[in-house]
Each structure stands twice: as structure tokens, then as C-alpha cells.
Amino acid sequence: MTTHATRLDKLIKEKQHDTYKAKAKLSEPCSCPDCGAVYQKGRWQWLESKPKETQLQKCPACQRINDRIPAGFISIAGDFFQTHRDEILGLIGNIEAHEKKQHPLNRIMDMSEQEGSLEITTTDMHLPRNIGVALEKAYDGELDYKYVDESNLLRVKWQR
């Protein structure tokens, strides 16, 4: 099913259990040895000063990065991307920085360019949607979303 939506308040409903979400509530506080995020008050967050004593627990985003199993993909293609590459990469970087500041589990895993297109993988499903919406808002173009039920992931494609 392909949807053309630009609403930021639309929630993506989980169709199947995400194996990277904790099966039980974690002991608090926990900190990720890879990225430094802290699990406190029921969520992963960035703290200016970390608690003195924390248990070490890899956060779901770092687990996905280590396992190389993304939750989101965004493909960017078209002549417009080639001629506005640096500007588009800047926008993507700004969206990720803003998102990651509030939600430590929303990160870009990898970006690869091939034959005038860009493929981005992410640790969550919201970041590719937000990038796609920002590209559509800034440059118009065609934006498609596809939620893959069996894999619990989101594929976003933008082109112009």
C-alpha cells in the first residue's frame, strides 16, 4: 500500500513486535556503552550529567547498528538530487540532528550514493518519514511510503 501523506502527527502503528524493543522494563538507570544514552524514567535520553552508577545496556539503536538491521529506508533519486546534492544532504543532516536531540534512538545508520541516487538506512521508522516530508515540503517532488508488515520496517522514496 502506498500512501501520499505529509502529516507529521500521523502515527505509524506497529504491525508486529519489534525484536529490538525491550521485552521487560529495564533497571534504571542504564547507560549504553556505545553511544552514552541513558535509560531513565522509562525512556532512553541524553543527559548532561550521567548518574554515577548505571548498569550497562546497549540501546536498541546501537544494537541495530551493530547487527546492521535497519528499521527504515529512504531512497532519494532524480536529476534534482544530483544538482542539489549538498543542499539536500544539509537538510537531511539538520533533520537527523533535530530528531536525535529529542529521541536518541532515531539515527541514521548509513548513507550510500550510487549512480545519482542516495540510499539512507535508519534505526527507526520515524526519521525516514520526517526526512521525506521535509524534502517534499522544501522541494515538492514525489513522495511514497511503504510499510512492510512482515519486516516491521518503513520504506520511503522521494524523487524529483
**Model pLDDT, residue 10:** 59
Sequence-separated contacts (24+) of 62-66 with Cβ below 8 Å: 62/32, 62/34, 62/35, 63/20, 64/20, 64/109, 64/123, 65/34, 65/107, 65/109, 65/123, 66/34
pLDDT value of residue 52: 86
Q: What is the pLDDT of residue 13?
A: 56
Identify the pLDDT of residue 158: 97
Note the pLDDT of residue 7: 57
Identify the residue with better confidence: 45 or 52: 45
Mean pLDDT in residue range 52-66: 93
Q: How many CB atoms are closer than 10 A to CB 84?
A: 16
Average pLDDT, the chain: 88
All structural domains of the chain, each given as residue ranges with its CATH number in brackets, are 30-58 (no CATH), 66-159 (3.30.70)
Specify the pLDDT at position 93: 97
